[in-house]
């Protein structure tokens, strides 16, 4: 039921990403509450937002929130998200869905059975360029799409300088693939409208730190309809930083830097000039949180299928790790919700 009453949103995990969401929810007029095991983080949150905080998520849920944003380490996603879904509140989980496929599947199962809905924090979907490319795709401007190349490269961009949970295998489930790879894999599949993934091959590396997780990765996804996706991600690349997406079709293609205000359109006719199109700049986190808050309030439908798509991304990442370890191409796990048309729900 639609309502004009401000929704009360609980933020679980009051670190950097929790603060990002809290600022946007505050801007959108939502009422905030927070939970974190760190007393210092709770005090900072209370001072900045004038909002109550709690030492654990159970106490936060008991306080009576309408929705929860899960911003804790990946390995804790399942416990918080499943408790929230079973409590009947709506949930936004920061990417990735979980630290393992098995944990992600249990979250997806809970989401299917829940009264509320569950979103996943794939912020690159909300860039103005992504939305424009999907609109051009739907209008047939690209003809038949064949390939998407996505790149997310940083220099000196290891989270927490390598000392935090992002480089802890047990908490994160992996390295740069879990941190940055998840964004660009979803972006590429989203641009192609999530076709079935039938084969994954790739290599992950740990080149620049003492940590046991990957800090760079390259991969190729082969899709059931003959399309392909290539990915290149790094925390500490010996190259210029880049966050780009290139889309190729039979009639035209597109290229953009995620989050900027221009989109290049390239005709298949080599005689035609490259066209630069301006798109509105977008605060991707604000757009994501606005969709979440409006869905919680009943003023719009929550995005359909995003949990199943997040589970697809999780399986692709798992297959990339397996491919790197085995030196062979891997067919992604098709148990549960199928991503290749032959799983239990295929």
Query: Does domain 125-281+312-326 bear CATH number 3.30.360.10?
Result: yes
pLDDT, mean over the chain: 93
CB 224 within 8 A of CB 161: no
pLDDT digits (tens, 9 = 90+) for 254-283: 999 999 999 999 999 999 989 999 998 789
Superfamily of domain 8-121: NAD(P)-binding Rossmann-like Domain (3.40.50.720)
Q: What pLDDT does residue 343 have?
A: 37
CB 204 within 8 A of CB 110: no
Q: What pLDDT does residue 3 have?
A: 64
- Return the minimum-mean-pLDDT range out of 105-119, 275-289, 325-339: 325-339
Question: For 294-303, what is the mean pLDDT?
Answer: 95
Question: For 91-115, what is the mean pLDDT?
Answer: 97
**CB-based burial of residue 318 (10 Å sphere; 0-12 exposed, 13-18 middle, 19+ buried)?**
buried
Q: What pLDDT does residue 199 have?
A: 97
Q: Where are the domains of the chain?
A: 8-121, 125-281+312-326
φ/ψ of 130, rounded to 5, equals -60, -45
The torsion region of residue 254 among left (phi > 0), alpha (psi -120 to 50) and beta comes to beta
Q: How far apart are CA 320 and CA 338, in angstroms?
A: 17
What percentage of the chain exceeds 90 in pLDDT?
88
pLDDT digits (tens, 9 = 90+) for 200-248: 999 999 998 888 999 999 999 999 999 999 999 999 999 999 999 999 9
């Amino acid at each position: 039921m639609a309502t004009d009453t401000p929704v009360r949103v609980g933020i679980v995990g009051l670190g950097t990403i929790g603060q990002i969401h809290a600022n946007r929810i505050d801007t959108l007029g939502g009422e905030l509450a927070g939970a974190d095991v760190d007393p210092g983080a709770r005090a900072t949150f209370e001072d900045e937002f004038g909002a109550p905080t709690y030492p654990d998520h159970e106490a936060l849920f008991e306080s009576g929130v309408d929705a929860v944003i899960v911003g804790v380490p990946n390995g804790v996603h399942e416990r918080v998200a499943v408790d929230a879904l079973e409590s009947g509140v709506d949930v936004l989980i920061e990417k990735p869905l979980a630290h393992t496929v098995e944990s992600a599947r249990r979250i997806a199962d809970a989401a299917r059975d829940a009264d509320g809905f569950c979103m996943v924090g794939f912020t690159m979907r909300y860039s103005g360029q992504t939305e424009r490319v999907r609109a051009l795709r739907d209008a047939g401007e690209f003809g038949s799409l064949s390939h998407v190349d996505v790149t997310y490269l940083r220099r000196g961009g290891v989270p927490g300088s390598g000392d935090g949970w992002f480089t802890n295998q047990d908490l994160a489930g992996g390295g740069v693939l879990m941190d940055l790879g998840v964004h660009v894999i979803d972006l590429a599949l989203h641009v192609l409208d999530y076709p079935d993934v039938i084969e994954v091959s790739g290599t992950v590396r740990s080149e620049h730190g003492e940590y046991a997780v990957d800090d760079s990765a390259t991969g190729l996804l082969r899709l059931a309809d003959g399309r392909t996706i290539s990915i290149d991600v790094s925390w500490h690349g010996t190259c210029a930083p880049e966050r780009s997406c290139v889309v190729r079709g039979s009639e035209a293609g597109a290229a953009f830097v995620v989050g900027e205000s221009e989109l290049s359109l390239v005709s298949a006719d080599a005689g035609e000039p490259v066209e630069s199109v301006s798109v509105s700049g977008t605060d991707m986190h604000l757009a994501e949180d606005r969709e979440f808050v409006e869905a919680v309030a009943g003023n719009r439908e929550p995005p359909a299928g995003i949990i199943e798509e997040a589970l697809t991304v999780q399986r692709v990442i798992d297959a990339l790790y397996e491919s790197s370890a085995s030196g062979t191409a891997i067919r992604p796990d098709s148990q549960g919700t199928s991503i290749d048309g032959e799983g239990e729900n295929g």
